[in-house]
Amino acid sequence: MDITVWQWATTGPEGKPTCAGCHPGGGPMEFDRDGQRYDERLTEKPSLSDSLYGDYYGSHWDKSGVLEADCFMCHLSSYSFETRTEQLKNWNLKWASTAASGIGTVEGSIYDVVDNNDPSAEPKVTYNKRLFNEDGKIVLDIKPTVDDNNCMQCHGPADMKKRAFSWHDEVNPDVHSQQGMHCVDCHPAGMDHNFAKGHTTIETLRDDLDNSMRSCKDCHTEGYRGATIPKHVNIPPSHLKDIACETCHIPQKHRAAGQFFDTTHGNLHWDIIGKKEAWGKPEDWYPAYMKFDGKIIPINPIFGIWWGNREKNGIVYPLFARELAAAWGIYGSRVTDDNGDGFAEVNKREEIRLGLKAVETVLHKSSRFEQVHAVFIKGDKAWEFNQDSLLVGKWDPVCKGRGFSISHNVAPAEMALGANGCPDCHGYNGEFFKRTYIVDPYDENGNQVIAPVRKTIGISDYSYNLCAIHFPLIRPYMGIVLIIIFFVTTLHFTSFGPHDFGGRPLHPRSDDYERIDRFNLFERLTHLFVLFTFIFLALTGLAFAYRGGGRFLELFFGNTVTPRVWHGWLGFVFGIGVLFMLLQWWRDAMLIPSDKEWVRNFGGYLGGHDPVPADRFNAGQKVYFWTVIIGGIALLLSGTVLFFREHLPLNLVFTCIFIHYIAALFGVSGVLSHVYLSTGANPGTFPAIFVGKVTKLWARRHHPLWYEKITGKPASGSSDHQNQNHSDESK
Amino acid sequence: MKAKKKLFIALAGILLLFTFQILVIPPTASFAGKHPPFYLLNSEGDIINPLTGENADQPYSTYNTCDMCHSYDDIVQGYHFQMGAKSVSDHYSKEQPWVLSDGMFGKF
């Protein structure tokens, strides 16, 4: 931070409110880096304060005392942080706790004693006698735990990142806070005083304690303290695995946060969401996302525009604020404010060039680095001079986007993303993927460059659109298509009745009711496998497609995971069955010239009195066959991708979701028509695929060419008569 | 008379058992909500007694006062106090050599 411990403990830089107003003392506020107490060591050796020893330089520990850990900051709800800051500004370090806890009042100021040479200003305590028993012992309402208010005194204002200030906040509510939960309920600590913490994507802070806090799962899987146990029946399990709870359950934030900062002028210039003058002001905004620890988490993207020096070892070191301020002094007057926000930003190539040169001039004055090579990091580019002294800006690992993870302000479940179905995220208006983040706050013209958040998790425009399109175009119509097919087939049946060619009997023959083989056992078994798996796949698939389908699945399977697992495995059985069908029937399904006539007559389905030419399969069946084959293979391939979705790129998965739904829609409608045609529409057909045999009469009627092929007799015409006459005679 | 005696013995027995039970299982040992009164000590470790005026113009010292009964040294190992100071080292991070600790101390 470029400040001494003394500055840290007393005024802080530029006389701003002291850091120690929140830092609770103890540790480095008490002992120097050699483990000695500052006050004792400086009293022994006063010359240290004139030395360059950073722990003592310019300090007055001998008079101020040190900051011992102030237990009351947390354990006393009446603690006054203002009084503490007041005391610290007066350098009354060892008096701070006595005054701020309200045990006594403190008059005097070490600052006056030292700086104004006024010995009479030596601080004096007047204790609040009402707090003491007759025996001189103090009675205090010391809390075993910590009040939220005590936590928030520090984690509220200073913390633009974790935003504890929005805990117990009406503008930015959280269901847990509304239920009366407290900070320490999720962030408990034992006697070791190491509070359980979450993780941060930006900083390193006791990473060994990461995720030690009580997680959503800890309470919501066991119902701890009455936590609801969500079933997520309508959420695909893959989502629960890949997406953090917070991502869906914190759909929106309502207080402005920082989005980027710029150190160019030698101080921290913050840019706040909604162009607010300070973070914490009411402002609605949507979190962005990033992949962290294998899960998609919601973040407040925060990135820095900063200057560094590329050392010999290739590492880019950030620079001190004072170095940047010095450099700005050299070139700042030549930098213009292009976007008119009152902050002159370095964005044009010429400005970057000036800046890099100025920074190098400043760095050359110190021997801090072995090699002086300035780098300017802005957005997704690092700018520096190459070997030929030409300015180049390109992506570098130091540009890695940063975001602060979001975990407070959990919304009621009904407001979570996905509560209104998949389109909440995947549809055309799905905000999840539509949200944007700032790639570069100011390009060469001073304009903000933004990109959709989905880019950060590798989802391209085309796959996003494919996935989005299937919500308005396919899913809503699945049910409707099914209903239409039912309606049309029923209508057809009512209008034309069973497909018996106008009811005109063929000339009967004596062997008409003899049976002939139509499908062998293997063919029938293949069909049966495909039939059964299809019914399962279609029903469960439909349930996956519809919001509320989860309830249907629960009804049959008790949960929503089992049917998904089975859908995957049975999908392979179905796919293999389809491949077998291809092998056994492809020859019979090749189109032949006479199929034209069948088509011309609409297969006789719209009336007509004579059997239309048809081989083993008629033209309609052939078209249906190839539809099933193509659709089945499409389902098999896309399904295989979905089966292994965890290991495959999201773009491919999204594309396959689209293909799977299209193929399923065609498949289901095709099969429904197929069922009608093989039952009601054509009496006598249905047993063929199960028993394997049909009557000769049926064969003559429906597949005359096939009949002729296997019996060697004509299906109609003279031989009919001969046979008929013959049988008449024999009567 | 005899009945009265029996009743008395029975009641006394129950009372005795109850008392015994209290001895065996003392009332809950957890924090009862009231912190016991204690003396404040100054930085020299001397008692501050505002009622007698003894050291009554001096600030109390958390270290001396609370350490009488709680382990101050253990408590200040918590990261809110140390801020990473314990782990400060020039070699803490290879990729980011300017980061010197696992806390905010020694970081910029």
Can you give the pLDDT at residue A571? Answer: 92
Q: CA nearest A316 in B: which residue?
A: B96
Can you give the pLDDT at residue A517? Answer: 76
Better-predicted residue by pLDDT, B101 or B10: B101
pLDDT, chain A, mean: 84
Taking the C-alpha atoms of residue A381 and residue A391, their distance in angstroms, rounded to an integer, is 12
Assign A724 a pLDDT band (cuts: 50, 70, 90): very low
Q: CA nearest A3 in B: which residue?
A: B108
Between B39, B60, B83, which is nearest A137 by CB? B39
Can you give the pLDDT at residue A719? Answer: 47
A25 in reach of chain B (CB within 8 A): yes
Residues 6+ apart with CB under 8 A from A412: A175
Q: How close A263 gets to chain B, by Cα (Å)?
A: 13
pTM of the model: 0.79
Contact assignment for B103 to A205 by CB distance below 8 Å: yes
Between A69, A124, A317, which is nearest B76 by CB? A69
Average pLDDT of the segment spanning A661-670: 86
For strands A316-318 and A303-310, give the pairing: antiparallel
Give the tens place of pLDDT for each residue, A132-144: 999 999 999 998 8
> Is A383 exposed, middle or buried, given 0-12, 13-18 or 19+ CB atoms closer than 10 A?
buried
Contact assignment for A27 to B86 by CB distance below 8 Å: yes
Contact assignment for A204 to B31 by CB distance below 8 Å: no
What share of chain A has pLDDT > 70, as a percent?
91
Contact assignment for A27 to B76 by CB distance below 8 Å: yes
Contact assignment for A193 to B75 by CB distance below 8 Å: yes
Q: Best residue in A68, A83, A132 to probe B by mutation, most B CBs within 10 Å?
A: A68
Tally A–B CB contacts below 8 A: 143
Angle at A363 between CA A359 and CA A367, to 5 degrees: 170
Better-predicted residue by pLDDT, A188 or A618: A188
Q: CA nearest B58 in A: which residue?
A: A125
CB A519 within 8 A of CB A527: yes
Q: CA nearest A321 in B: which residue?
A: B108
A194 in reach of chain B (CB within 8 A): yes
Q: Best residue in B52, B57, B90 to probe A by mutation, most A CBs within 10 Å?
A: B57
Q: Which residues of A touch B79 (CB under 8 A)?
A: 194-195, 205-206, 209
What share of chain A has pLDDT > 90, as a percent?
31
Residues of chain A numbered 319-338 and touching chain B (CB < 8 Å)? 320
> What beta strand segments (E) does A53-121 contain?
104-107
Between A70, A140, A144, which is nearest B62 by CB? A70
> CA A67: distance to chain centroid?
44
Residue in this structure with the two tokens 């200073």, named with its chain if needed: A158
Q: Which residues of A touch B89 (CB under 8 A)?
A: none
Residues 6+ apart with CB under 8 A from A414: none
Q: Which residues of B touch A30 (CB under 8 A)?
A: 63, 76
CB A297 within 8 A of CB A290: yes
Contact assignment for B78 to A195 by CB distance below 8 Å: yes
ipTM for the complex?
0.73
Q: Which residues of A touch B66 (CB under 8 A)?
A: 71
Can you give the pLDDT at residue A1? Answer: 53
Question: Is the model's pLDDT at A527 over the cut of 60?
Answer: yes
Assign A316 a pLDDT band (cuts: 50, 70, 90): very high
Better-predicted residue by pLDDT, A622 or A642: A642
Average pLDDT of the segment spanning A244-271: 90
A94 in reach of chain B (CB within 8 A): yes
Taking the C-alpha atoms of residue A32 and residue A571, their distance in angstroms, rounded to an integer, is 68
A268 in reach of chain B (CB within 8 A): no
Question: Is the model's pLDDT at A576 over the cut of 80?
Answer: yes
Element (H, E) at A449: strand A449-452
Assign A503 a pLDDT band (cuts: 50, 70, 90): low
Between B40, B52, B77, which is nearest A138 by CB? B40
Least Cα distance to A221 among A232, A237, A235, A210 occurs for A232
CB A100 within 8 A of CB A83: yes
Q: Which residues of A touch B35 (CB under 8 A)?
A: 139-142
Question: Is the model's pLDDT at A727 over the cut of 50?
Answer: no
Question: Is the model's pLDDT at A347 over the cut of 70?
Answer: yes
Average pLDDT of the segment spanning A478-489: 84
- Identity (one letter) of the amino acid at A200? T
Residue A580 tokens read as: 């077998």
- May I ask the CATH class of domain A463-484+511-730? mainly alpha
Q: How close B78 gets to chain A, by Cα (Å)?
A: 5
Residues of chain A numbered 648-677 and touching chain B (CB < 8 Å)? none
Residue A297 tokens read as: 């988490």
Q: CA nearest B42 in A: which residue?
A: A94
> What beta strand segments (E) does A215-323 contain?
253-255, 258-262, 269-272, 282-285, 288-292, 295-301, 303-310, 316-318
Contact assignment for A69 to B60 by CB distance below 8 Å: no
What secondary structure, in 3-state letters, does A133-200 show?
CCCCCECCCCCCCCCHHHHHHHHCCCCCCCCHHHCCCCCCCCHHHHCCCCHHHHCCCCCCCCCCCCCC
Q: Best residue in B31, B44, B60, B100 to probe A by mutation, most A CBs within 10 Å?
A: B60
Contact assignment for B103 to A206 by CB distance below 8 Å: yes
> Is A574 exposed, middle or buried, given 0-12, 13-18 or 19+ CB atoms closer than 10 A?
buried
All structural domains of chain A with their residue ranges: 5-144, 152-459, 463-484+511-730
CB A359 within 8 A of CB A308: no
Q: Which residues pair with A270 in a beta bridge?
A: A261
A127 in reach of chain B (CB within 8 A): yes
Assign A675 a pLDDT band (cuts: 50, 70, 90): confident
Taking the C-alpha atoms of residue A421 and residue A427, their distance in angstroms, rounded to an integer, is 9
